[in-house]
RNA sequence: GGCCCCAUCGUCUAGAGGCCUAGGACGCGGGCCUUUCAAGCCUGCAACACGGGUUCGAAUCCCGUUGGGGUCACCA
């Protein structure tokens, strides 16, 4: 059996979408699992909507996710070029082959004529199909024309989908489809197929929305006398309202999740679990996935994208990072928030505390802002904890801290205990006002850690500030 | 509307005729721990769309209904 060859063929009309990323991922996973090849091809034949910026954005997102390609733009390969617009002669030659074999023919109908026909059909509530006007006309390359594939009118085509099982399409639902436009651009069904043939693709895994294209493509493979690849149609990703996932449902671009402080592994983990499962396991490393993934285990029902669960998965990944790695990766998010963090012991201490409390890098930077900027006092917290009643407590802690030349966890604990027991109070009565004075709010890591992170001088300053505020 | 596909907790899913009084996870509720917040631990709520078959036995197989999604271009 020959080496499996898979591909991802996005059209560069925008950023890499969550759904596209999952399609790419499943293809990549299978290629890696089987020792096959993963090909990236850019389907840019829609000149109106394709942009270089989108091409760059797609590369960027794929690389971030860790989906590397063996053949494709910028790495090359034996079946290039990998941009469809650079492959026009190839489509032309395959189309000629079809035309010469009588499997395709030139159609000289104008768009106006075609539109009129469609309108009429609609008015009569009839199903429109191209009437075959030019089916028997002789080939005249001097006249403007498109090329149409001659579809069989009777019978049906059945193929065995790797995830959905057998799917049958009656031929009378098909029409003589345009395969080459007037300007020589191939249409999707033809371009993709020619590329798949010429690039030796053995397994086509793509979105569910392509099932209806498959019979037409199979007919064209047969017209060309080429062997068929295996098809796998992946269920769609839906939004919470069960309609196709779109911007209305929140962030759908892969890079948006990078910018929000998600880990690529976590995004991959979540995406793969949306439609694929392996028993009760939820968290998978990339290495595990390239060992376990199988199209046979992909479910055949559409899945609702659940941001909460993705957040949870990200948290699981975040927590597994070492302090060093966590600090290194969190740093840019502190910087982006305008905070003067450095990749140092302090940051490592911060992230060690943040690990259990924040689910993304962006959350870490936002939640621990006070470690690098003046505390933003929450008025409600201040009203409750920075009062004349708590003043003596704050003063006692302040003085005790001032008397500690080099505070550490032990000495701080001793200090707080003494302040509390001297007044027959619980530790919480002391810790909470101090917490508000130091962080501005009522929620934070353990108070000793907060003092240690801020340092003795800064802690004293904030305590003094709170004291002054109470008056 | 035609055609195609699909149908287990709110969501992702396990389930290949008896292991199902339907399991796990997210989320949600309660409790424990505790200097707050998290985390952790314990615990609760919550599903086989409906109707017919087949079978000794059906979430699992078949048919229908309903519901959802996809697709019907010189877009991809």
Catalytic residues of A: 247
| pLDDT tens per residue across span A24-50 | 999 999 999 999 999 999 999 998 899
Is the pLDDT at A249 greater than 90, yes or no?
A: no
- Within a 10 A sphere around the Cβ of A208, how many other Cβ atoms? 18
Euclidean distance between the first and final Cα of chain A, in Å? Answer: 83
- Residue A378: strand, helix, or coil: coil
What's the whole-number mean pLDDT along residues A185-207?
A: 97
- Distance of alpha carbon A299 from alpha carbon A279, whole angstroms: 13
Distance CA A175, CA A440 (A): 69
A163 CA to B55 C1', in Å?
Answer: 29
Q: Rounded to whole angstroms, what are the CA distances from A397 to A162, A387, A438?
A: 68, 15, 12
A308 CB and strand B closer than 7 A? yes
**A345: how many CB neighbours lie within 10 A of its CB?**
11
pLDDT of residue A250: 85
Confidence of residue A122 (pLDDT cuts 50, 70, 90): confident
Q: How confident is the model at residue A247 (pLDDT cuts 50, 70, 90)?
A: confident
Q: Is the CB of A114 under 7 A from strand B?
A: yes
DSSP result, A243-311: SBP-GGGS--BHHHHHHTT--HHHHHHHHHHTTB--TT-----HHHHHHH--GGGB-SS-EE--HHHHH
SS3 (DSSP) at A363:
helix
Q: CB < 7 Å to strand B — which of 425-464 in chain A? A: 426-428, 431-432, 435, 442-448
Distance CA A219, CA A204 (A): 16
Which residues are bridge partners to A107 per DSSP?
A: A146
Segment A399-403 mean pLDDT? 97
Other C-beta atoms within 10 Å of A131: how many? 13
Q: What is the pTM of this model?
A: 0.95
* Strand B and A176 CB separated by under 7 Å: no
How far: A122 CA to B2 C1' (Å)? 12
Compute chain A's Rg from CA coordinates: 31
Contact status, residue A43 vs residue A13, Cβ threshold 8 Å: no
Q: CA at A395, C1' at B72: how many angstroms apart?
A: 77
Q: Is the CB of A322 under 7 A from strand B?
A: no
User: What is the C-alpha separation between A382 and A370, in angstroms, rounded?
Assistant: 15
Is A186 a residue whose pLDDT tops 70? yes
Helix, coil or strand: residue A226: coil
Q: Which nucleotide is nearest to A312 (CA to C1')?
A: B26
pLDDT at site A20: 95
Element (H, E) at A287: helix A286-292
In this complex, the answer to whether residue A73 has its CB under 7 A from any atom of chain B, a nucleic strand, is: no
For strand B, give the nucleotides within 7 A of a protein CB.
1-8, 10-14, 23-27, 34-39, 68-76
Mean pLDDT of A384-391: 96
The tokens for A466 are: 């709170």
Mean of all residue pLDDT scores within chain A: 95
CB-CB contact of A18 with A252 (8 Å):
yes
Closest nucleotide (CA of A208 to C1')? B70
The C1' atom of B26 and the CA atom of A359 lie apart, in whole Å, by: 14
pLDDT band at A246 (very low <50, low <70, confident <90, very high): confident
Cα A299 to Cα A165: distance, rounded to the nearest angstrom: 11
| Packed helices A264-273 and A307-319: angle between N→C axes, nearest 10 degrees | 130
> What pLDDT band is residue A126 in, cutting at 50, 70 and 90?
confident
Whole-number percent of chain A with pLDDT over 90: 93
Whole-number distance in Å between A327 CA and B34 C1': 27
Least confidently predicted of A112-126, A260-274, A277-291, A409-423: A112-126
DSSP string, A406-431: S--HHHHHHHHHHHHHHTT--HHHHH
- The model's pLDDT over A339-379, given as tens digits with 9 standing for 90+, comes to 999 999 999 999 999 999 999 999 999 999 999 999 999 99
| Mean pLDDT value of segment A150-163 | 94
Task: Quickly give A76 CA vs B70 C1' distance in Å.
Answer: 35
Token pair in block for residue A118: 């469609």
Q: Coil, strand or helix: which one is A301?
A: coil
The span from the CA of A285 to the CA of A263, in Å, is: 12
Q: Beta carbon of A208 within 7 Å of strand B?
A: yes
> How far is it, in rounded angstroms, from Cα A189 to Cα A45?
12
- A172: pLDDT strictly greater than 80: yes
What is the reported pLDDT for A471?
82
Across the strands, what pairs with A167?
A159
Segment A418-450, tens digit of pLDDT: 999 999 999 999 999 999 999 999 999 999 999
A168 touches strand B (CB under 7 A): yes
Please determine, for residue A1, whether its predicted confidence score (pLDDT) is greater than 80. Answer: no
3-state secondary structure of A38: strand
Instruction: Report DSSP letters for A126-178, one per residue.
Output: -------TTTTPPP-TTS--EEEE---SSSEEEEEETTTEEEEEEGGG----E
**How far is Cα A21 from Cα A27, in angstroms, rounded to an integer?**
10
Contacts of A103 (CB under 8 A, 6+ apart): A149, A150, A223, A224
A222: pLDDT strictly greater than 90: yes
**A121: which 2 tokens?**
């059909």
Q: Is pLDDT at A319 greater than 70 in this prediction?
A: yes
Cα A234–A236–A242 angle (5° rounding)? 155
Cβ of A470 near strand B (under 7 Å)? The reply is no
Q: What is the average pLDDT across A390-409?
A: 96
Query: Can you tell me which residue has its alpha carbon closest to the C1' of nucleotide B35?
Result: A428
Cα separations in angstroms, A213 against A244, A357, A403, A434: 19, 48, 78, 66
What pLDDT sits at residue A349? 98
| Confidence check: pLDDT of A406 > 70 | yes
């Amino acid at each position: 059996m020959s080496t499996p060859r898979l591909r991802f063929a996005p059209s560069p009309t925008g950023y890499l979408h969550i759904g596209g990323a999952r399609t790419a991922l499943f293809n990549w996973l299978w290629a890696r699992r089987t020792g096959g090849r993963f090909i990236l091809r850019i389907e840019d034949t829609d000149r109106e909507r394709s942009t270089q910026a989108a091409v760059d954005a797609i590369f960027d997102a794929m690389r971030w996710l860790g989906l590397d390609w063996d053949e494709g733009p910028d790495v090359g390969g034996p079946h290039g070029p990998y941009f469809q617009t650079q492959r026009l002669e190839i489509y032309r030659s395959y189309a000629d082959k079809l035309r010469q074999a009588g499997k395709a023919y030139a159609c000289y109908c104008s768009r106006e004529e075609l539109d009129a026909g469609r309108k009429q059909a609609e008015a009569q509530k009839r199903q429109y199909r191209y009437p075959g006007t030019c089916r028997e006309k002789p080939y005249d390359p001097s006249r403007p024309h498109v090329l149409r594939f001659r579809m069989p009118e009777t019978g049906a085509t059945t193929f065995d989908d790797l995830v959905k099982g057998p799917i049958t399409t009656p031929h009378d639902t098909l029409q003589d489809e345009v395969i080459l436009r007037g300007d020589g651009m191939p249409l999707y069904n033809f371009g993709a197929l020619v590329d798949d043939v010429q690039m030796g693709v053995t397994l086509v895994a793509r979105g569910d929305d392509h099932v209806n294209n498959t019979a037409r493509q199979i007919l064209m493979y047969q017209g060309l006398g080429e062997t068929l690849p295996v098809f796998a149609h992946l269920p769609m990703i839906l939004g919470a309202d069960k309609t196709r996932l779109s911007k209305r449902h929140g962030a759908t671009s892969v890079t948006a999740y990078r910018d929000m402080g998600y880990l690529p592994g976590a995004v991959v983990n979540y995406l793969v679990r949306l439609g694929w499962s392996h028993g009760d396991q939820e968290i998978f490393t990339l290495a595990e996935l390239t060992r376990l993934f199988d199209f046979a285990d992909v479910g055949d029902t559409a899945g609702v994208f659940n941001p909460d669960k993705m957040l949870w998965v990200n948290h699981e990944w975040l927590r597994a990072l070492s302090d060093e790695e966590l600090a290194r990766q969190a740093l840019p998010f502190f910087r982006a928030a305008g905070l003067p963090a450095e990749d140092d012991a302090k940051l490592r201490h911060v992230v060690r505390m943040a690990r259990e409390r924040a689910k993304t890098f962006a959350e870490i930077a936002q939640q621990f802002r006070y470690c690098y900027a003046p505390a933003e006092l929450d008025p409600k917290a201040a009203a409750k904890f920075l009062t004349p009643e708590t003043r003596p407590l704050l003063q006692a802690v302040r003085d005790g801290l001032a008397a500690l030349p080099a505070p550490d966890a032990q000495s701080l604990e001793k200090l707080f205990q003494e302040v509390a027991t001297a007044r027959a109070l619980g530790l919480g009565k002391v810790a909470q006002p101090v917490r508000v004075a130091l962080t501005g709010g009522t929620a934070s890591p353990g108070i000793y850690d907060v003092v240690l992170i801020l340092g003795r001088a800064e802690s004293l300053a904030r305590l003094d500030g709170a004291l002054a505020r109470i008056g």
